[in-house]
Structure 1
Amino acid sequence: MRFLGMIAMLGALLAAPALARDKPQDAAAAKPATRYTPPPTTDLENTWLLDLSTGGRVSIWLRPDVAPDTVRRIKNLTRRHFYDGLTFHRVIDGFMAQGGDPKGDGSGGSELPDVKAEFNYLPHVRGAVAMARAEAENSANSQFYIVFQPRLSLDNKYTVFGRVLQGMQYVDAIERGEPPTNPTRILHAYIAADNPPPYQAAPSAPAPALGPPVTLPGTKPATRK
């Protein structure tokens, strides 16, 4: 009897790993993250246009497939003309240009609530466009940045929501500095589906008015013939 009991106990121990292997895995771990189809690069509703004071228009492909709430916020603020006239207040050579702050110092945002983080698989490559935020992950609001050179260490830490398709030369020309001495401005921001006008450069500053002739000490005023 004792021998049979030992055999039964040994059989139970040998069966335990098999039972563990047969246990269903956690559903979230077993199911891969769903990837939605991105919009075509020609989709005007998902094309963000930034007319910069550096001399031209930047065309950005928006990605609602990976960051729907963020893209919704960008479109909302753009159609409110929120970005018109704002500067790039923090521009680091070889890294990125950050803008979208109405205060112009990195501390401001829109009157709308912050947007939750939508970290995704899009990398921080040249031309990537992502949301700036404070230390809290869900603190993005209106500020964004455009990447000059790859910075893959930021992947899955900030929400990448688009990429520059055309006009990167105007991004490269953004004035550097924290803050820049003469900051580059967003003259206008548009969603391409809204039929925006062609790019128009910022008007030149008027020439200073000429005052009356100045007579230096010890000289006679000039006479006109």
Structure 2
Amino acid sequence: MTHRFCAALLAVLTAAPAIAADPPATPAAVVAQAPAAAWRAIPADALLVMTIEGGKRVVIQLAPAFSPRHVANIQALARAHWWDGTSINRVQDNYVVQWGDATEKKSMPPGLTATSPLDYAVPLANRRLQVTPLPYADPYAPTTGYVGGWPVAMDGTSAWLPHCYGYVGVGRNLSPDAGTGAELYAVIGQAPRQLDRNIAVVGRVIDGMANLSSLPRGSGELGFYTAQEHQVPILSIRLASDLPDAERPRFQEMDVASRSFADYLRLRANRKDDFYDRPAGGVDLCNAPVPVRAAP
């Protein structure tokens, strides 16, 4: 009887359908499954909402901790509605989209702060930054990592934001001019990291990037639109904190100190799933962006 029972049990077990294996881990799966505790709300006064021709919207997250003077100017310009009626004037392929006052004659609102090349990086003296390190070599900085939701490059004395895809910088004339923040651009091509510490980086596009990257390229020098081409009108630029509550966008960024971000970063560098046969064994600062999502 015992032998018959064992044989019957073996037949049942071998006939039973196999239990499905866990799906391969991917960075996207880690982001999708991250718990609520792994996300941090982005303050409304750090969100710049740009509406361009056709009612298309672009949302920019500002980085006051890394570019305080320029960001303060940008917030003042937004509150003064300074950009209303200006335009996108330059679209250079694999480089930038740039906007502001094409005439360069529009009066500035009072109270803007003077800036200088010293504002391109923040000094590390007397600062204790909570850094999530990126343990891979970077050709543009001795060390890199993540601080407060931002990718950061460092050299032991200062820290700065990199020129990654979608990042927003301040247009300027020749040094020592550092720009006021009235002329802005977004990177729409391969990360031009050679610009790091040569121009102020003030934030990143977190929504509506396709509304910039899909614009027709300018045929003028450096991608500027010529007189015969259409400069895309800017209808308005507002801080989210100045919008009615029902119109206010809400976004969250992943906490770079969370377990979810550690898993995400590991998989960005060492992806091995159904598609990837050969893990890279590393990742650069611009290819491991901090995940951002619309607030649930």
TM over 0.5: yes
Query: Shift of residue 68 of structure 1?
Result: 0.7
* Structure 2, unaligned runs of 5 or more: 1-39, 122-159, 219-223, 249-296
Instruction: State the alpha-carbon separation in 2 of the partners of residues 187 and 85 from structure 1.
Output: 6
Instruction: State the alpha-carbon separation in 2 of the partners of residues 137 and 48 from structure 1.
Output: 27
Look up the equivalent residue of 2:120 and give its one-letter code. F
Classify 1:160/1:54 alpha carbon distance in 2 versus 1 (closer, same or farther; 3 Å): farther
| Structure with more strand by fraction | 2
Say if 1:124 and 1:151, in contact at 8 Å, map to a contact too: yes
Question: Is 1:193 equivalent to 2:248 in the alignment?
Answer: no
The aligned counterpart of 1:207 is none
The aligned counterpart of 2:93 is 93
Count of residue correspondences: 157
Task: Work out which of the residue numbers 152, 166, 176 in structure 2 matches 1:137.
Answer: 176
Classify 1:110/1:66 alpha carbon distance in 2 versus 1 (closer, same or farther; 3 Å): farther
Say if 1:109 and 1:143, in contact at 8 Å, map to a contact too: no
Instruction: State the alpha-carbon separation in 2 of the partners of residues 41 and 145 from structure 1.
Output: 25
The aligned counterpart of 1:171 is 212
Show CA shifts across 1:99-121 (max 9, x none). 112xx15x456435653331132
The aligned runs of 1:1-225 (5 Å cut-off) are 42-53=42-53, 55-101=55-101, 104-105=102-103, 107-108=104-105, 110-111=107-108, 112=112, 114-117=114-117, 118-120=119-121, 121-141=160-180, 142-149=182-189, 150-177=191-218, 178-180=224-226, 181-196=229-244, 198=247
Say if 1:41 and 1:61, in contact at 8 Å, map to a contact too: no
Say if 1:53 and 1:186, in contact at 8 Å, map to a contact too: yes
Say if 1:175 and 1:183, in contact at 8 Å, map to a contact too: no
Instruction: State the alpha-carbon separation in 2 of the partners of residues 175 and 54 from structure 1.
Output: 15
What TM-score does the superposition give when structure 1 sets the normalisation length? 0.64
Q: Report the secondary structure of 2:232's partner residue.
A: coil
Instruction: State the alpha-carbon separation in 2 of the partners of residues 163 and 187 from structure 1.
Output: 20
Say if 2:178 and 2:199, in contact at 8 Å, map to a contact too: no
* Structure 1, unaligned runs of 5 or more: 1-39, 200-225
Which stretches of structure 1, 4 residues or more, deviate above 6 A after TM superposition? none
Instruction: State the alpha-carbon separation in 2 of the partners of residues 113 and 161 from structure 1.
Output: 15
Identity %: 29
Instruction: State the alpha-carbon separation in 2 of the partners of residues 45 and 88 from structure 1.
Output: 23
Query: Shift of residue 52 of structure 1?
Result: 1.5
Say if 2:59 and 2:208, in contact at 8 Å, map to a contact too: yes
Look up the equivalent residue of 1:192 and give its one-letter code. A
Classify 1:123/1:110 alpha carbon distance in 2 versus 1 (closer, same or farther; 3 Å): farther
Q: CA RMSD in A?
A: 2.2
The aligned counterpart of 2:139 is none
Q: Report the secondary structure of 1:185's partner residue.
A: strand
Say if 2:178 and 2:200, in contact at 8 Å, map to a contact too: no
Return 90-99 or 126-135, whichever deviates more. 90-99
Classify 1:195/1:55 alpha carbon distance in 2 versus 1 (closer, same or farther; 3 Å): closer
Classify 1:108/1:41 alpha carbon distance in 2 versus 1 (closer, same or farther; 3 Å): farther
What TM-score does the superposition give when structure 2 sets the normalisation length? 0.49
Instruction: State the alpha-carbon separation in 2 of the partners of residues 173 and 55 from structure 1.
Output: 15
Return 131-140 or 71-80, whichever deviates more. 131-140
Q: Report the secondary structure of 2:48's partner residue.
A: strand
Classify 1:72/1:99 alpha carbon distance in 2 versus 1 (closer, same or farther; 3 Å): same
Instruction: State the alpha-carbon separation in 1 of the partners of residues 169 and 105 from structure 2.
Output: 17
